[in-house]
Structure 1
Amino acid sequence: MPQESFLTEKQEIEKQIQKLQRKMRTLHSRQRRPVINSIVRSMQEYEITPEEIAQAFERRQKRAITASKAPARYRNPQTGDTWTGRGRPPRWITDAEQNGQSREQFLIKD
């Protein structure tokens, strides 16, 4: 008997999960609709074609990939973690600098 009760409760919970997932999809769709409409209006206003959007999107992706392929310039000798020298310095660099160490000591020498 306890096994049947467990299965019934489990089925009820699964139904509730499915119902909540449907609600989430509906909510997500409702939130996206005005954004999409705004994009379409802007495209019409500025005579932008879907092909131009696709090309711009591809260029942006290529740029992001190229930017992320920057070689590492600094290495933490204790952990092996690396940093390209771009963007915000990792904690191990900032901690070392606060302790009076030079960033140059972490440079990767080829």
Structure 2
Amino acid sequence: MSVETYSSAKQKIEKEILRLQKQMKSLKVKQRRPIIASIVKSMQDNEITLEEVAEALEKTSARGSSAGSAEPKASLPPKYRHPATQDTWTGRGRPPRWIIDAEAQGQSREDFLIK
């Protein structure tokens, strides 16, 4: 493919992308119009002011931001340990291969409990 052909093909694709992005934006606007109309009607029917909505939004965004910025959960202490390899498992989630193999051989999970 020559440089000119590549350039013109790239320009056509970029124009098409822009056209499709504009079309998507237009569709989103059309989709949102009835929802906004419904919200406005509900606000009028229930005599809700913009200030009340703004206050409610502030409360929910403050709650949401603090929950999202909380420090990560601490990892759980291991509950099971393989005696030979010292591999551990918390007992949550999918069991490790060594637990599955041991149970297939007739051993119990309790044999691996950390005491």
Give me the TM-score of the superposition, normalised by structure 1: 0.64
2:32 alignment partner in structure 1? 32
Partner of 1:46: 46
The residue number in structure 1 matching 2:16 is 16
Q: Distance between the aligned counterparts of 2:77 and 2:19, measured in 1?
A: 51
What's the Cα RMSD here? 2.9
What is the deviation of 1:70? 6.9
1:93 corresponds to which residue? 92
Counterpart of 1:61? 61
Local SS of the residue matching 1:24: helix
State the 1:63 CA deviation.
2.1
More moved, 56-65 vs 45-54: 56-65
In the TM superposition, residue 62 of structure 1 has moved relative to its aligned partner by 1.8
Counterpart in the other structure of 1:108: none
Q: How many residue pairs align between the two structures? A: 86
Q: What residue ranges of structure 1 are gaps of 5+ in the alignment?
A: 79-91, 106-110
Matched to 1:56, the amino acid is: A
Shift of the alpha carbon at 1:77?
Answer: 5.9
- Superposed displacement of residue 93, structure 1: 2.8
- Larger Rg: 1 or 2? 2
- 1:71 and 1:25 map into 2 onto residues whose CA distance is 36
> Take 1:2 and 1:77, find their aligned partners in 2: how far apart are those partners?
62
The gaps in structure 2 that reach 5 residues or longer are 79-90, 100-108
Q: 1:46 Cα deviation (Å)?
A: 0.4
Q: Shift of the alpha carbon at 1:2? A: 1.1
